[in-house]
Amino acid sequence: MKQSRRRPNHISNRGERGYALIALIGIILFAMILTTAAAPVLKKELQREKEEEMFWRGQQVQMAIAQYFAASGKFPTNLKKDLVDGVKIGPAAKQIRFLRPSALCDGMNPCPSEEGNWNLVYLGDREPADLRDALLAYLQKQKLPPTIPPLLTTAAEMGKNRLPGAGGDKPGEQSDDSSGSDDKLKGKPIVGVTSKTNDKMFRSYYGIEEYNKALFFPQVPVITGGIIPPIGMGAAFAPTNVANPRCPDGGVRINGQCFGGLRPGQLCRGPNGESVPCPGR
């Protein structure tokens, strides 16, 4: 009678370990395939979240600039010092803050500096004219009255004949940082901000498709995707309290000067009440 031969235990265990290793490799490969397939979707979702944050913070900046202008009659020259740290306004010299520190950072990009990472747009730059043109086209498409905020009209007229980047003073950082760079921009009025990202947005901003062309400007509400606020465009574009009796011809007083006079030949009043020609015609 023949005796049955049994495999040694070490050979049997070795085979089981081999099957387990093959199964583990298969699971890892399957997981890698799923991750690769899901990566584009995850990237888009992350971009959408960053875009939402950019719009939210940009809206906070444009509202803060509008409030600062209404309170002081001028544009800020440094977002952190003027809007976040605040300024003393009024007879009581009360310190007023207009912006939370987090809004200094564009949600689309890393923000290593407390000064913020927005691309600053200055009075005389081309971006306000581009926004005005986009806004007019948007209102026409929506069959709404072509009502343009007065500050945007004035800033657009001041920058409409300027080529993008002309003069070499296209801003990229805060104008009066401690590094001393871009000294010629120190003290220049900041009228708005854009993102430094040049990709295409998921949603359009008054028909504007790129992040770095979506200008957040005072008096211009943040409207995307053709959605009109419940208050209506007329109320949304209601002028900030910028009228000034020192500009009797209907112009807008910016940083101590009148711009955008509607009736040629009229005079504006200077800082001491004297009659002076209204600049900006």
Domain ranges of the chain: 44-242, 243-281
Q: Which of 39-53, 144-158, 178-192 has the highest mean pLDDT?
A: 144-158
66-70, 165-169, 179-183: least confident range: 165-169
Statement: residue 161 has pLDDT above 80: no
Mean pLDDT, rounded, for 96-113: 91
Contact indicator for 172, 106 with CB cutoff of 8 Å? no
pLDDT value of residue 196: 95
Tokens representing residue 78 in the block: 């440094």
Contact indicator for 107, 51 with CB cutoff of 8 Å? yes
SS3 readout for 213-272: HCCECCCCCCCECCCCCCCCHHHHCCCCCCCCCCCCCCCEEECCEEECCCCCCCEEECCC
Contact indicator for 246, 65 with CB cutoff of 8 Å? no
Statement: residue 261 has pLDDT above 90: no
How many Å apart are CA 85 and CA 77, to the nearest integer?
A: 13
Tokens representing residue 272 in the block: 């001491």
Tokens representing residue 125 in the block: 């730059």
pLDDT range class, residue 146, cuts 50, 70, 90: confident
pLDDT value of residue 38: 57
Q: Report which DSSP code applies to 2.
A: P
Mean pLDDT, rounded, for 77-97: 85
In order of 68, 83, 195, 242, the CA distances from 74 in angstroms are 7, 12, 23, 9
Number of H-type helices and E-type strands within the chain: 4, 10
**Burial class of 33 by CB neighbour count within 10 A (0 to 12, 13 to 18, 19+):** exposed
